[in-house]
Structure 1
Amino acid sequence: MTLRTPIVVVGSGLAGLTCAWAATEPVVLITAASLTSGAASMWAQGGVAAALAADDSTRDHADDTWRAGAFAGDRAVIDRITAAAPGVVRLLADLEVPFDRAPDGSLDLALEGGHSRPRVAHAGDHSGAAITACMASAVLHSPTIEIRQNHSAIEVLVLPNGAVRGVVVRRADGTEELIETERVVLATGGLGGLWPHTTNPTTALGQGVALAARIGARTDDLHLVQFHPTGLDVPRDPMPLLTEALRGAGATLLADGIRFVDELMPRDVVAAAVWEQLSAGRTVRLDARGIPEVARRFPAVAELTAASGLDLAADLLPVRPALHYSMGGVTVDDHSRTSVPGLWAIGEVSRTGLHGANRLASNSLLEAVVSGRAAAEDACAGPGTRDCRIEPADPATVLPRTNRATLAMQDVRRVLGDACGVLRDGAGLHRAVRLLAPHTGDDVSYVAWLVARSALAHPHSVGAHRRTDDAAPAAAESLGVTP
């Protein structure tokens, strides 16, 4: 019998780690730095949303997800993933994630924006780091996982029939290696580093989107990117994040000292309201001073603010929207398969349909675990079980890598920030596509071009995609203005 080549997983955030851990065959795990370094999963402050309380239900969780996503998600996917959420939390607890507990031993569930009731299982305000570290420990103890640290995937190779045949990686010393495999799982994270104001690692440049799109994988909804309304507005790159849970605990948003929005509306609504105030020349600050023992309850945030000379318990904190999450990405089915045979995509690099046009708070770590396990199961199954029904990519988006002159990173960030910010219009998007098009041989410019092109192709506002030139916008959401 011919032995199959190992599964290659690219990325060591929560999705990639989960996939490697769940696989029943040998895995080569590729990570551009050390294990978990640069993974946005490590930075997640909120937790994992799941219907665990007696007065909650997976249907209610699904309804909140559907509503927060501006009714643009895939309802069947939403139902499936929210139904899996309680089991995900139990799995993570079994892996010894130190979730916070109530005095009776039950999980302490937090309320976050867009949720109709408290349902976020958390480990302080550093849940992503706690969860990812526990999964990384499980990976490190697995005898079937080979970890290649300081290796970057630079190209996926395909056979004449379009199926995956290998992945080219670049080692730390600059030399390249071809890893032959018929199964590649992309877990490379998002593309938030392409914007000038971001809460993402600045290394999050859409590498997985570039790898997949260049070999013909379909992408969708790349224009649907979420701006977190409360990035700490200090001269740091990336911007520190002031977690949604602060507003859930009672923090308020003030413009020149006056409260102007219902802080627990979905993120796209709150971000647009903050942007409106900033555009009017007002100063927007988050007031967390009324939260009892706020520094004890949110130690990671207290540390972040202190690093910028601010006191979480005593100061009004300057904020502005910052790019936080990509709802779109490489299109996948329920098994995390892409339109390219032998290629899977999981976590933020993928477009599952869960998030619609605006991600509900604390659904991303949930999606990472569910999609990572689905990819592992499918990749380890016989090849005859794979029957992906995703439509092929638009040929106009499938472009090769070249060595032509490229735009500097700061120029790409400026172009995309100007054109694809909280508010967009056709003229700005046309200009961005025109400026970026000559530079698509470079992966960074290529992904930025794909994003701008996607935004231009969608003339109507929905969720986080807000076109100021939409002649017939969908029913506008109330900003929940408070007198």
Structure 2
Amino acid sequence: MTGGTNVSSIKKVIVVGSGIAALSFAKTISDNCQVIMMTKNKLTSSNSVLAQGGIAAAFSARDSIEQHVYDTLIAGCDHNDNRTVREMLQLGKELVYQLIEEGCPFDCDDWGRPHLGKEGAHVTERILHAGGDQTGQILVQFLKSQLGSHIQLYEHHHVIDLMVQDQTCRGVVYKDQNGQVHTMTADAVVLSTGGCGDLYETNTNDSSVTGDGLMMAYRAGAQLVDLEFVQFHPTLLTIGGKAMGLISEAVRGEGAYLEDETGRRIMTGVHPLEDLAPRDIVSRVMFHEQQLGHSIFLNIKNVPHFSTRFPSISARCHQAGIDVENNRLPVSPGMHFLMGGIKVNVHGETNVESLFAIGEAACTGLHGANRLASNSLLEGLVLGYNAAQRVNLMEKQHEVSPSLPLQEVWAVPRLSESKLRRWMTTDAAIVRDDKGLQTLLKQLESVSIQFINVKDITKRQIELSNRWSLAICMTKSALKRTESRGGHYRKDYPNRDDAFWRGKQIVHEKGCMQVIKNERIGANWNVYS
């Protein structure tokens, strides 16, 4: 912190989460800001750390920003915000170059240039990796090493709600590592809490990713959009119906392909890019084949030096008792990424003053209806950087002294996490229809409720309440979009309807709840529109 700075003029910012977007924000924010970074588990409990795939940037002489934009729009099925795509991919390339200049250890070729890989729906090589298949983990470590003393990290601090006054976010309500409830005011709050992978039985997400940030923002009056667009990653290592971990799309980029138990290549003739088709297409083909009774394998015989190129995947296979020398890895699709989220602009600003959202929790319009592989880490870098630049320009808020509503109660469904995951996986996953979605909505809305005081509620109950509320919003979105586009496929409406649906978002809005007023009844009661 610079000497001579007036303490009363220092802005205080609370960042909820600890992934790439949060760390990019913390790296960029002025040292005249005091930043409190809270995460409900460990700093390393994030989807970013689990990211095996790389980060996309148009560095090749055969590539261009225009081509990267084109591939992103094609994958997004004409649901992207074109201007946002162009701006974010251009800035993203600059930020990746900056990381290289700063010494981030990306994998390089024999001439010291970043090695560029290829993944699904990219027409050329543009994926930078680190540690082979440990890009996210290495990026997190590198960004964390660059944080200044004005960044304070609080692990096992569970932010459970936002404090809002006059449609302005004033701070957060959180539980510390001992379960005690506290409030903390701030000039800005930044949500970087990820998506909602834990809503599904088979997923690639960290177990902490339960939709908390989305529902906190919703209760505060922020808009949620595009919740029907859920991306399933085609290749999760799966044994006996249980997912053992992700197998990066980069493996197919290096020459692996999908086949059934007979050796028949299942993507041949389905799409011009075959095994490197967009993820929504590959996942639906796999789902169809599995419905017919086939087992699906990833054949890696064409991948040179597999164990060296993909060390963490090889280690995971070994732990699962699979010999990679046999060249066949059993795979199945699993929930991977939520394209929708909290509606924000390119600076991460929501419609609630002083409330920002970045990373997967946010929806900028970059991904459209289906995210292009390796654009997520790039988006995290860009949105974290942009939000920090905007906060740097903000005026310090007037001091407020909101008090915690001690009689605040939460509505918690009498429902197990496993049952909720089973319902969502059955009726709101890769293939949907009206009958299944209506059944799901009826099940969700008919669950009995128990009311629990905020002082007594457990972390598990908070997460369950958020999951349940978000599941209702997602189901209603899927029912409203009567077409198929990207990650949203309805067998009763199997075609795209550009005449009506192109570019249209389904928005969930909730009037701003004054959490600092004692008359509030129920943090999660009747929160869905």
Give the TM-score, by structure 1 length: 0.91
Aligned to 1:21: 27
SS of 2:68 mapped into structure 1: helix
Distance 2:494 2:251 in 1: 36
Structure 1 range deviating more: 340-349 or 403-412? 403-412
CA contact (8 A) 2:73 2:368 kept: yes
The answer to whether the 8 Å contact 1:406/1:445 transfers is no
Q: Does residue 443 in structure 1 map to residue 466 in structure 2?
A: yes
C-alpha distance in 1 between matches for 2:387 and 2:242: 33
Is the aligned partner of 1:145 residue 2:151?
yes
Q: What residue number does 2:16 align with?
A: 10
Aligned counterpart, 1:246? 251
Alignment of 1:186-265 (within 5 A): 186-234=191-239, 239-256=244-261, 257-261=263-267, 262-265=274-277
Residue in 1 that maps onto 2:476 = 453
CA distance in 2 between counterparts of 1:179 and 1:418 reads 40
Q: Equivalences for 1:251-290 in 2 at 5 Å? A: 251-256=256-261, 257-261=263-267, 262-290=274-302
Deviations 1:178-234 (A, max 9, x none): 011131000001101110010111221111101101111101011111000111112
Contact 2:10 2:34 in 1 (8 A): no
Q: CA offsets per residue over residues 368-405 of structure 1, 9 Å max, x none?
A: 000001111112213499xxxxxxxxxxxxxx972344
* Cα displacement string for residues 36-95 of structure 1 (whole angstroms, at most 9, x for unaligned residues): x22100111111100001111000000000001112111111111111232121122234
1:28-427 to 2 correspondence within 5 Å?
28-35=36-43, 37-123=44-130, 124-139=132-147, 142-159=148-165, 161-234=166-239, 239-256=244-261, 257-261=263-267, 262-383=274-395, 402-427=410-435
What does residue 479 of structure 1 align with? Answer: none
Measure, in 2, the Cα distance between the counterparts of 1:138 and 1:176: 31
- Give the CA deviation at 1:452: 1.1
Q: Equivalent residue of 1:6, what SS?
A: strand
Q: Could you tell me whether the CA contact under 8 Å between 2:258 and 2:297 is conserved in 1?
A: yes
State percent identity of aligned pairs: 34
**In the alignment, is the contact (CA less than 8 A) between 2:194 and 2:360 conserved in 1?**
yes
Task: Read off the aligned partner of 1:74 and give its amino acid letter.
Answer: D
Distance change >3 Å, CA 11–CA 228, structure 1 → 2: same
Q: Pick from 430, 433, 441: which aligns with 1:433? A: 441
Alpha-carbon deviation of 1:307? 1.0
C-alpha separation in 1, matches of 2:231 and 2:220:
27
Q: Distance in 1 between matches of 2:105 and 2:430?
A: 36
Q: Which SS does the other structure have where 1:403 is aligned?
A: strand
For residues 272-318 of structure 1, give each alpha carbon's deviation from its aligned partner in whole angstroms, at most 9, with x where no partner exists: 11111101111110000221211111111101111111122324111
Stretch moving more, 262-271 or 429-438? 429-438
CA distance change for structure 1 residues 82 and 378 in 2, over 3 Å: closer, same or farther?
A: same
Residues 20 and 66 (structure 1), Cα distance of their counterparts in 2 relative to 1, 3 Å cut: same
Amino acid at match of 2:99: L
1:465 lines up with 2:473 in the alignment: no
Instruction: Return closer, same or farther for 1:383/1:435 CA change in 2, 3 Å cut-off.
Output: farther
Query: Is 2:224–2:341's contact at 8 Å kept on the other side of the alignment?
Result: yes
Would you say how many aligned residue pairs link Structure 1 and Structure 2?
457
Shift of 1:5: 4.6
CA distance in 2, matches of 1:255, 1:408: 35
Q: What is the SS of the residue equivalent to 2:330?
A: strand
Q: Which stretch has the larger CA shift, 307-316 or 443-452?
A: 307-316
Instruction: Give the greater-gyration-radius structure (CA).
Output: 2
Q: Deviations over 1:309-351 (max 9, x none)?
A: 1122324111111000111000001111011111100000000
Q: Supply the AA of the counterpart residue of 1:50.
A: A
Give the secondary structure class of the aligned counterpart of 1:91.
helix
* 2:182 alignment partner, SS class: strand
Shift of 1:429: 1.0
Is the CA contact (8 Å cut-off) linking 2:244 and 2:320 kept in structure 1? no
**Distance in 1 (alpha carbons) for counterparts of 2:242 and 2:214:** 23
> Partners of 1:355 and 1:245 in 2: how far apart?
19
Quote how far apart the aligned CAs of 1:4 are.
5.1
CA contact (8 A) 2:244 2:316 kept: no
User: CA separation in 2, counterparts of 1:118 and 1:308?
Assistant: 31
For structure 1, the residue ranges without an aligned partner over 5 or more in a row are: 386-399, 476-483
Q: 1:239 to 1:203 in 2, by over 3 A?
A: farther
Q: Could you tell me how far apart the structure 2 residues matched to 1:94 and 1:417 are? A: 44
Structure 1: distance between partners of 2:94 and 2:308: 29
Per the TM alignment, residue 168 of structure 1 is displaced from its structure 2 partner at its CA by 0.7
Distance 2:198 2:136 in 1: 19
The answer to whether the 8 A contact 1:199-1:239 is kept is no
Measured on the aligned residues, the alpha-carbon RMSD in Å equals 1.9
* TM-score, normalising length: structure 2: 0.83
C-alpha spacing 1:214/1:406, structure 2 compared with 1 (3 Å): farther
Q: Which amino acid in 2 is paired with 1:267? A: R
CA contact under 8 A between 2:20 and 2:381: conserved in structure 1? Answer: yes
Residue 250 (structure 1) shift:
0.6
Distance of 1:137 and 1:364 partners within structure 2: 21
* C-alpha separation in 1, matches of 2:349 and 2:409: 24
Q: Within 2, Cα distance between the matches of 1:375 and 1:206?
A: 21
- Determine if contact 1:162/1:341 at 8 Å carries over to the other structure: yes
- Cα offset, 1:435, TM superposition: 1.8
Change beyond 3 A, Cα 1:235–1:135: farther
Give, in angstroms, the shift of residue 472 of structure 1: 5.0
Residue 235 of structure 1 and its aligned partner are, at CA, apart by 5.3
Quick one: distance in 1 between partners of 2:39 and 2:172? 13
- The 2-side partners of 1:57 and 1:191 are apart by 33
SS in 1 for 2:276: coil
